[in-house]
Amino acid sequence: MRRFGYLIDRLISRSRTSRALLLAVSLGIPVSGSSATAALSSEDNAAATWLINLGQRYEYGVGAPQHLDRALELYCEAANLGHPQARFHLGWLYASGRLGAIDEIQAAAWLQAAQAAGHRQARVKLSQLNALDRPLPEPPHCLFTDAISERRLPPVNLATTDTSGPSMGMRTDSASTLNGIQVRELARADIHSLVQRLAPSYQLDPELVLALIQVESNFNPSAHSPKDARGLMQLIPATAQRFGVTDIWDPVQNMRGGMAYLRWLLDHFNGNRKLALAAYNAGEGAVQRHGGIPPYPETQAYVKRIIAQLEPAPSSPALGLPQNTTP
């Protein structure tokens, strides 16, 4: 059942695209396209981009009340216009558990639609779900939160299928394995490997995530702070719940929740890495109140430690080259 359709019908009508564009500009919502949307007409691309950005506001509760079903309907309308990113994001949502359950069938269906529309990362996600070029029992369609049920794709090969991740769905079986490694007994090298595979799903630099984990928990999946922050990325229960984590002590779920939060913070602070890191440590509210990195010694040292790990060490002058001795 459509819950926001009266507005969407007005926005995506071709005869009223200019009205949608004017409204987008007035709200400060970007409407520029990308190479992935080259197959769309300029009008459809503008309308779909507007719908996606408005959907993000409802999904994350930034600039609008948080309302996942409204976000879903907006994303679905953009996907039906043919927008690759909308299709990809729907696939991610149905697989991530963020909507209250994991539906791998609809996730795979939307990801296959995204791949058909030219989305570059869709193939990787489909491979993680063992759904690449795989026939599916139903086409992609929109399910609201009250209609989503837990559905998993049957394994292609029971001997080799990964049942714990890092697929896009969050697995909660404490006895599951990842390529033969018990997920609760991950060594540091395994965490590095997982981050390298997971971070691109959230459009994050793996080195940034690894630096954050180093400072947060020193790669200890059992870390538990006096402030009740838990696991590799030191999620507090409220943040874990906010980003769909059902088992905060599961290392894969913990990393997914932490990466989702970090991605949200980067978007919230317009890509400013230092502000996002400060907010990860002190909370986004503290950064907003102080108009920048809060004057807390812990937070300021935290940001400096992570940034220092990302900046290359100064190299010595090459041997034999004259050095500048000007004072």
Is the omega angle on the peptide bond into residue 312 within 30 degrees of 0, that is, cis?
A: no
CA atoms of 221 and 231, how far apart (whole Å): 5
Examine domains 13-155 and 181-311 and report if their fold is the same: no
- pLDDT at residue 260 in the model: 92
Question: What percent of the chain lies above the pLDDT cut of 90?
Answer: 44
Convert the pLDDT of each residue in 47-56 to its tens digit.
Answer: 999 999 999 8
Tell which CATH architecture fits domain 181-311.
Orthogonal Bundle (1.10)
- pLDDT at residue 88 in the model: 94
Domain boundaries, the chain: 13-155, 181-311
CATH number among 3.30.1370, 3.40.50, 3.40.1280, 1.25.40, domain 13-155: 1.25.40
- pLDDT at residue 152 in the model: 84
Q: Residue 299 contacts by C-beta under 8 Å, 6 or more apart in sequence?
A: 278, 281, 282, 286, 293
The model's confidence at residue 232, banded by pLDDT at 50, 70 and 90, is very high
Convert the pLDDT of each residue in 63-86 to its tens digit.
Answer: 888 899 999 999 999 999 999 999
**What are the backbone angles phi and psi of residue 151, rounded to the nearest 5°?**
-140, 130
Catalytic residue positions? 216
The model's confidence at residue 102, banded by pLDDT at 50, 70 and 90, is confident
pLDDT beyond 90 at 115: yes
Convert the pLDDT of each residue in 156-205 to its tens digit.
Answer: 543 333 333 333 333 334 334 443 333 445 678 889 988 998 898 888 99
